[in-house]
């Protein structure tokens, strides 16, 4: 029964489409120009892409001009400002005799850092006070 219903539906739709074409309500001539539609779409995408590229170039150039202008203003301000009292030099910390400075320790126990420094000094064959350790960090 469903097959007969489908045939009847197809026949009715076909008859309605034929009548619409005959009366001029349906124009099927536009479907033959799909190549032109694709060309129009591609040209539209190309125009938008070129426009965005040009806008990107303009924004980059304006940014570089602004950065150069701000650098120029900073140098002019520095030159115009009188050489006021220079900031006092920082007073260096007094280090213990024989030490080579502070060691920054990150994520490491101070005891482990001391052992690492001692091992490195031993392997190099140098006294610990001749080596300079800037920082010790545990690698996880």
> Does residue 122 lie in a domain region?
yes
> Does residue 20 lie in a domain region?
no
> Does residue 15 lie in a domain region?
no
CB 124, CB 131: distance < 8 Å: yes
- Give 1 or 38, the one with higher predicted confidence: 38
Average pLDDT over residues 120-139: 86
Share of the chain above pLDDT 70, in %: 74
User: What pLDDT shows up at residue 63?
Assistant: 93
- Give 41 or 71, the one with higher predicted confidence: 41
Residue 52 domain boundaries? 34-79
- Give 101 or 43, the one with higher predicted confidence: 43
> Does residue 60 lie in a domain region?
yes
What is the number of structural domains in the chain?
A: 2
Task: Write out pLDDT tens, residues 55-99.
Answer: 999 999 999 999 888 887 777 766 665 555 556 666 666 655 656
> Does residue 68 lie in a domain region?
yes
- The pTM for the full model equals 0.34
- Give 112 or 20, the one with higher predicted confidence: 112
> Does residue 133 lie in a domain region?
yes
CA distance 68 to 70: 6
The secondary structure of the chain, three-state, reads CHHHHHHHHHHHHHHHHHHHHHHCCCCCHHHHHHHHHHHHHHHHHHHHHHHHHHHHHHHHHHHHHHHHHHHHHHHHHHHHCCCCCCCCCCCCCCCCCCCCCCCEEECCCHHHHHHHHHHHHHHHCCCHHHCCCCEEECCC
> Does residue 92 lie in a domain region?
no
Q: Give strand pairing partners of 136.
A: 105
> Does residue 111 lie in a domain region?
yes
């Amino acid at each position: 029964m469903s097959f007969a219903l489908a045939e009847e539906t197809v026949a009715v739709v076909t008859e309605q489409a034929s009548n619409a074409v005959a009366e001029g309500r349906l124009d099927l001539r536009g479907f033959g120009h799909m190549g032109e539609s694709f060309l129009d779409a591609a040209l539209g995408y190309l125009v938008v892409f070129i426009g965005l590229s040009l806008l990107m170039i303009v924004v980059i150039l304006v940014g570089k001009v602004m950065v150069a202008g701000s650098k120029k203003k900073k140098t002019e301000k520095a030159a115009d400002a009188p050489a006021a009292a220079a900031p006092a030099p920082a007073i260096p910390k007094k280090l213990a005799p024989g030490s080579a400075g502070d060691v920054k320790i990150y994520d490491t126990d101070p005891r482990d850092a001391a052992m690492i420094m001692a091992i490195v000094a031993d392997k190099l064959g140098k006294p610990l006070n001749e080596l300079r350790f800037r920082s010790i960090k545990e690698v996880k």
